[in-house]
Amino acid sequence: MKNLWNSAEAAGFAGDIGQRVYTSRLIGRDPSLVLHGGGNTSVKVGERNLFGDEEQILHVKGTGWDLAAIEPRGFSPCRMAHLLRLAGLDSLSDVRMVAELRGSMTNASAPTPSVEAILHAIIPARFVDHTHADAIVTVMNTPGGEDRLREIYGDRVVIVPYVMPGFKLARLCATLLPQKVTPRAIGVALMSHGLITFGETAESSYARMIECVTLAEEYLSGRGAWKVEWPAAAAPSRPLRAELAAFRRELSGAMGAPAILTLHADAQCLGFARRADVPALSQQGPATPDHVIRTKRVPLVGRDLAAFRRDYERYFSACAPGAGPRPAMLDPAPRVVLDPEWGLVTAGGSARDAAIAGEIYRHTIDIILRATALGGWRALPAGDIFEVEYWDLEQAKLRRAGQAPVFAGEVALVTGAASGIGRACVDSFLRRGAAVAGLDVSPGIARLHDRPDFRGIVCDLTDEAAVAAALEEAVRAFGGLDMLVLNAGIFVPGKGIGELGTETWRKVMSVNLDASFVMLRESHPLLRAAPRGGRVAVIGSKNVPAPGPGAAAYSASKAAVNQLARVAALEWGADRIRVNSLHPNMVFDTALWTPEVLESRARHYGMSVEAYKTNNVLRVEIASRDVAELAAELCGPLFAKTTGAQIPVDGGNERVI
């Protein structure tokens, strides 16, 4: 493993907190050390309080912060004296511990301290780093793992047997470490958790982490258990979108809420899913207990969700017998699915959760196979995994999960998404928690957003094969389709019917009408499988109820789409699909309204451009976001019993009213 410390870079981070930020980011850069918010770092600093007294303050990574992007405000300042007194208690519930940690902070607005704050406090060094390094976890999760660690590190790393994270682990370490940490010690191996290294400087603690991980990698490599190779594997070429959408609906039912599913069909995922021994290897448990919440206890092998539920209920009953307090059973739905045709499918309440589950399980695959090559893969016993899965702190998180965004776990597809109303719709649905696929003929759509809940797809909507491919890509990315916004359209410069060319007429009809028909037809099976019922928002036009001269092709195409939407509302109601239309007028921040078109239309009505922009009853200008927000609301719970509606977004038009 490469040491990324750069003295010139480090010089730009002033003071102990700055140095702590710098090396934390170095650790966070490497996914083989920590994944998505995992791992912890801290530094102990002397500070004067309000009364002028010197206090030792532990600045420990706050909950919710990712080491790769952490800032000084991402560390929680806790009074060391209080943490050390907590470490001396015989028992303390983790819920009470978190409350005490918050009470120890010198800044009430800082994030909640890591549950490992007490553990960091008792480590006898100023800087502390904790990672879940793949190489270390691999060695730990083999028969005789402790002996292997002693072979690698001797007395330089203290080995602590597995204990539930939280206060129990901190209490055990408070008992063991004073006896076992010698002047030669540079780290602590927490069995099934990972590795802690420490030092008097940020550089030394980080360098020790890299040294320890490198030694583990070399140990594995020397025994032919480090490099994992995958033969080329062909991804499924036939369309999977209908199957994935149906599976997503069933899995969402087991979760009790809509789920995002992401398909991973590369050589690694297909190769592992197709191994003959995958049912045995994959069912032992996660690589570390820190991963159980993201990936559940074990993956589903195949697609039999009913069998997974039965196994889960047996596991729950065995680990939580009826006598005594018993937690409520979590949803019996997998977060990881291994299927020989699909490869790896990961699920979550959001696209980010599904992506994190995917990245974690990719690392888990490598850890499992390296451990197998070293002598055998061995995860924690089911009872220990259950203890983490039903940890009171995790139960508290689940109780707070009811505050999820309105479209959490749902998928929206927007056509004409690169600019104007379409781009505003993308933003409106993202703000409400949806995963969004944006389609546009412009190559810029692929760069519109760089985030796990957006997929920009270049697509010519007049090409039926391209539409089918775009839907396939969207479903492989997010698992299905809940909401469709038909927005793409073109508006040609005003010409009377007598001057309108046939090619122009056909082009407008092809984009505005025919493409909308094809998208509706191809989306119907996916919308029908939406867990909460499908929704369609059609971006129409004021020209439907009140056409204007010089816009025959545009007006006719929009009127035809409006009629198509009304028929869809009639036909699809039995499938729990709602179809509603919006009729905006003169939304000038769109690609349709070029300066030439705007000037031409204003001149046609004998107005200045500024007067034309507010030519409505309310004398207001309509923006893309105004239309987008109403389109999103039409797909939300406020309109749950509305279909076939036509709503103007035009500031009030005298001809329409």
Amino acid at 255: M
Q: Is the dihedral of CA 75, 76, 78, 83 positive or negative?
A: negative
Q: Are 490 and 507 in contact (CB under 8 A)?
A: yes
Q: Are 374 and 281 in contact (CB under 8 A)?
A: no
* DSSP E strand stretches across 17-102: 40-48, 54-61, 75-79
Judged on CB neighbours under 10 Å (0-12, 13-18, 19+), 246 is middle
338: tokens are: 């291994």
Count of C-beta atoms within a 10 Å radius of residue 464: 15
Q: Are 104 and 79 in contact (CB under 8 A)?
A: yes
Active site residue 312: no
SS (H, E, C) 614-651: CCCCCCCCECHHHHHHHHHHHCCHHHCCCCCCEEEECC
Please identify which of the residues 22, 219, 315, 554 carries the catalytic annotation: 554
Element (H, E) at 183: none
Q: How far is CA 199 from CA 12, 183, 406, 483, 599, in A?
A: 21, 11, 46, 53, 69
Judged on CB neighbours under 10 Å (0-12, 13-18, 19+), 14 is exposed
In degrees rounded to 5, what are phi and psi of residue 563?
-70, -35
Judged on CB neighbours under 10 Å (0-12, 13-18, 19+), 515 is buried
What are residue 127's DSSP bridge partners? 43, 199
Judged on CB neighbours under 10 Å (0-12, 13-18, 19+), 2 is exposed
Nearest Cα neighbor of 428 from 649, 650, 638, 634 is 634
**541 Cβ contact list (under 8 Å, min separation 6):** 554, 555, 558, 583, 584, 585
361: tokens are: 């399980």
Distance of CA 69 to the CA centre of its chain: 16
416: tokens are: 């004409």
Q: Are 127 and 209 in contact (CB under 8 A)?
A: no
Nearest Cα neighbor of 380 from 292, 289, 299 is 289
Stated length of the chain: 657
- The DSSP call for residue 511 is I
Q: Are 120 and 198 in contact (CB under 8 A)?
A: no
283: tokens are: 């069912």
Ramachandran area for residue 224 (φ above 0: left; ψ -120 to 50: alpha; else beta): left
- The DSSP call for residue 407 is T
Tell me which residues are annotated as active site: 554
